[in-house]
Amino acid sequence: MRKNDKINILISVLLILGFISLALSILYLSSYLIILSLSFIFWGGILFYVAPSRHVPLLFLNATAESAENNIERVLTEFNLTEKGIYLPPKNLFDPEKSLVFVPKIQKQKLPEPEETRITGLLNINHNGLFLTPLGFALSEIFEHKIGRSFTKTDLSFLEKNLSMLLTEEIGIVENIEIVAQNSKITLIIKGSIFEEDNTETIKFPLTYNALGRLLSSSLACVLAKATGKAIIIENERIIEEEKITKIEYLMVEE
């Protein structure tokens, strides 16, 4: 079987599983099935985009992302969570190769221990916060595939040297990216992102954007958490539409 055929079959299976899970989540009102379905759909959609000679329209990816954001907004509203999400570093994860966002009930909440993240439920053991799969997790794993290594085996210096080439030349999702690191703050200045985003989108799902960020900022938060070994918060994300520039400020959290 040709490589492209295998990729096409994998994409089809992921999308079918995703939409079946989404239908079941609506039928049974299950938050767990919602998260599972979105994971399948994201993987299928992103693989469809990067597969050789196959380019899914960006409208499809944006529509899929909006469905995910809508469901996450419902979950955050249900649990009445308004704090910034914390992208957990490998040392706080049972599986250090995964990415997970911890949305605490209150500010300065103690970060969960690795064993707590082993639980498959949304709430952590002490019920003082919520675990969510980041919007950009699948995209961050594609970044790892392209560079040929896990970001847990890199550092910030590696990202400063290689991230621009990865996103501009290897994958081609931005025109330019600049990393500015100062003390506990990391600022990414991105020009010409392919993702059609604007400032009005934050009105639709304010809790989701506050906790997890957008698709691209979320994927890069996953990358930074692994590379720096620190918990990461998306402190601010600003889009300058007339210049096609996105400025994302990340904060490294020290326990």
* Tokens standing for residue 72: 């996450």
Write the CATH number of the domain with boundaries 137-253.
Answer: 3.30.1380
The pLDDT tens digits along the chain (255 residues) read 444 455 555 556 656 666 666 666 555 555 555 565 666 566 666 555 555 444 444 555 666 667 778 888 888 998 899 999 999 999 999 999 999 999 999 888 889 999 888 876 676 666 788 999 888 888 898 899 889 999 999 999 999 999 999 999 888 889 999 999 999 999 999 998 877 655 555 678 899 999 999 889 999 999 999 999 999 999 999 988 888 899 999 999 976
What does DSSP say about strands 231-240 and 245-253: parallel, antiparallel, or unpaired? antiparallel
Give the predicted TM-score (pTM) of the model: 0.77
Q: Where are the domains of the chain?
A: 3-56, 86-132, 137-253
Cβ atoms of 134 and 169 closer than 8 Å: no
| Segment 120-141, tens digit of pLDDT | 667 666 678 899 988 888 889 8
Secondary structure (H, E, C), the chain: CCHHHHHHHHHHHHHHHHHHHHHHHHHHCCHHHHHHHHHHHHHHHHHHHHCCCCCCCHHHHHHHHHHHHHHHHHHHHHCCCCCCCEECCHHHCCCCCCCCEEEECCCCCCCCCHHHHHCCCCECCCCCEEEECCCCHHHHHHHHHHHCCCHHHCCHHHHHHHHHHHHHHHCCCCCEEEEEEECCEEEEEEECCCCCCCCCHHHHCHHHHHHHCCHHHHHHHHHHHHHHCCEEEEEEEEEEHHHCEEEEEEEEECC
